[in-house]
């Protein structure tokens, strides 16, 4: 499949990189969704990976590790006492200055291995990256970043999967004691040293996503939730949509019950999609609905049963972020690079949601129509937001309007499976 379709790796849950190439790939799923697919992109440069860290990320990780060590060394009597220490020690300081002053940890083999990886330039991957990754692993196989770089130095699916699985297996042995301590609230992400290990799972899930291997991707996402119930990596929304694509509604209900007050847009809007899939599974007369709509999808918002609960949930979702319906229908919204960070209820948050989930909604068709039917309600709600957010949305629309590409929705509908 690597040779059949040009692919560029994006990590919608991590680096959030995006190609503007009009290339998609599809895999049919056994569900009411018309088609299941992942955004297909340009072929990855050898060594390119969601877990490949930029220099800022490296400094941030080192800083957070140092903070974790400093907190562990002190016997604080209360959270307030710990916060007071952090404020006095680090407020107003750059990460670099703080590291120079506070990071007195002697360098170990893991630092040596990571320093080897840091010598690899962004444009020197492939065989070069493989060589450096192997050198780092000779120093210590505990370097999860080296396993990731080694895996993505290949272009063969088998070799990438093989090395990611090897790294994960080693990581399970390395962190076995911490894994045994996981409970319903505390997971591995709270232990800073485990984060590179957790990113290997993310990398493997992305590989399966690109290959259209939905079942395997779902299994990895489930493992990530099990190892980190708090889901700091933000994969629960993607797992929910996988459950819906596979028509595993009981699992979707269980997942939603674990995060009852979640404000993650993948979950908030996913609740709506779940209700719509339930309706699809019922004996509802859709031919009658089609006749009533008369080609006007906006009428769907005015219908009562069985859409009452879905409408209520959509109203809550729109309040969480009204820009989602407004940007979902824009013909070029999926071509723009997704932001790396966002403010709640902002256009940037909506753009991240669209990169992660727009194709899931289009794939369900009724979800897409239902979203379109609430366009006006979303526009009204967006006008209630602070003026800076409205101005940011207008600026974003201007940028999207300048992109000269065919509507991404049309491309998917033309190349995807036809409705049965």
Q: pLDDT per residue over 95-136, tens digit each?
A: 777 777 777 767 789 889 988 988 887 666 678 889 999 999
Q: Does residue 199 fall inside a structural domain?
A: no
Among 13, 9, 12, smallest CA distance to 233 is for: 13
pTM: 0.75
Q: Does residue 347 fall inside a structural domain?
A: yes
Q: Does residue 121 fall inside a structural domain?
A: no
Q: Do strands 25-27 and 36-38 pair parallel, antiparallel, or not at all (unpaired)?
A: antiparallel
Q: Does residue 378 fall inside a structural domain?
A: yes
Taking 50 as the threshold, does the pLDDT of residue 3 lie above it? no
Residue range of the domain that includes 323: 236-415
Q: pLDDT per residue over 135-172, tens digit each?
A: 999 999 999 999 999 999 998 999 999 999 999 999 99
Could you tell me the sign of the dihedral formed by the alpha carbons of 270, 275, 280, 282, in that order?
Answer: positive
Q: Does residue 157 fall inside a structural domain?
A: no
Among 272, 250, 248, smallest CA distance to 366 is for: 272
Q: pLDDT per residue over 288-300, tens digit each?
A: 666 666 655 555 5
Residue 415: its pLDDT value, please?
65
Q: Does residue 307 fall inside a structural domain?
A: yes
Q: Does residue 117 fall inside a structural domain?
A: no
Q: Does residue 291 fall inside a structural domain?
A: yes
The tally of domains found in the chain comes to 1
């Amino acid at each position: 499949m690597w040779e059949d379709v040009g692919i560029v790796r994006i990590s919608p849950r991590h680096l959030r990189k995006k190609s503007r190439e009009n290339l998609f790939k599809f895999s049919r799923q056994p569900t009411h969704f018309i088609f299941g697919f992942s955004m297909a992109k340009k072929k990855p440069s050898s060594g390119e990976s969601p877990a490949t860290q930029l220099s800022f990320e490296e400094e941030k990780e080192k800083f957070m590790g140092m903070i974790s060590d400093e907190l562990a060394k002190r016997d604080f009597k209360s959270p307030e006492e710990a916060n007071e220490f952090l404020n006095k020690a680090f407020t107003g300081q750059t990460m670099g200055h703080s590291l120079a002053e506070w990071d007195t940890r002697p360098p170990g083999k893991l630092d040596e291995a990571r320093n080897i990886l840091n010598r690899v330039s962004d444009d020197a991957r492939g065989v070069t990256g493989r060589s450096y990754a192997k050198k780092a692993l000779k120093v210590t196989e505990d370097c999860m970043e080296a396993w990731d770089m080694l895996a993505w130095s290949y272009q063969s699916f088998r070799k990438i999967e093989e090395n990611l699985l090897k790294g994960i297996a080693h990581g399970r042995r390395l962190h076995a004691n911490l894994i045994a301590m996981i409970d319903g609230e505390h997971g591995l992400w709270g232990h800073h040293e485990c984060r590179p290990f957790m990113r290997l799972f993310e990398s493997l899930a992305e590989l399966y996503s690109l290959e259209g291997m939905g079942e395997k991707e779902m299994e990895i996402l489930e493992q990530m939730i099990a190892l980190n119930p708090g889901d700091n990596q933000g994969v629960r929304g993607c797992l929910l949509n996988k459950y819906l694509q596979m028509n595993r509604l009981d699992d979707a209900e269980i997942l939603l019950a674990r995060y009852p007050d979640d404000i993650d847009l993948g979950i908030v809007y996913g609740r709506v999609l779940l209700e719509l899939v339930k309706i699809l599974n019922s004996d509802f007369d859709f031919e009658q609905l089609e006749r009533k709509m008369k080609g006007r999808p906006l009428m769907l918002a005015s219908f009562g049963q069985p859409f009452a609960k879905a409408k209520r949930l959509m109203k809550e979702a729109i309040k969480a972020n009204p820009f989602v319906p407004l940007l979902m229908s824009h013909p070029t919204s999926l071509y723009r690079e997704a932001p790396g960070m966002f403010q709640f209820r902002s256009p940037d948050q909506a753009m991240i949601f669209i990169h992660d989930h727009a194709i899931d909604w289009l794939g369900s068709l009724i979800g897409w129509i239902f979203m379109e039917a609430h366009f006006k309600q979303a526009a009204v709600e967006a006008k209630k937001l602070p003026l800076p957010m409205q101005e940011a949305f207008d600026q974003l629309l201007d940028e999207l309007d300048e992109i000269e590409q065919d509507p991404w929705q049309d491309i998917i509908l033309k190349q995807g499976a036809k409705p049965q």
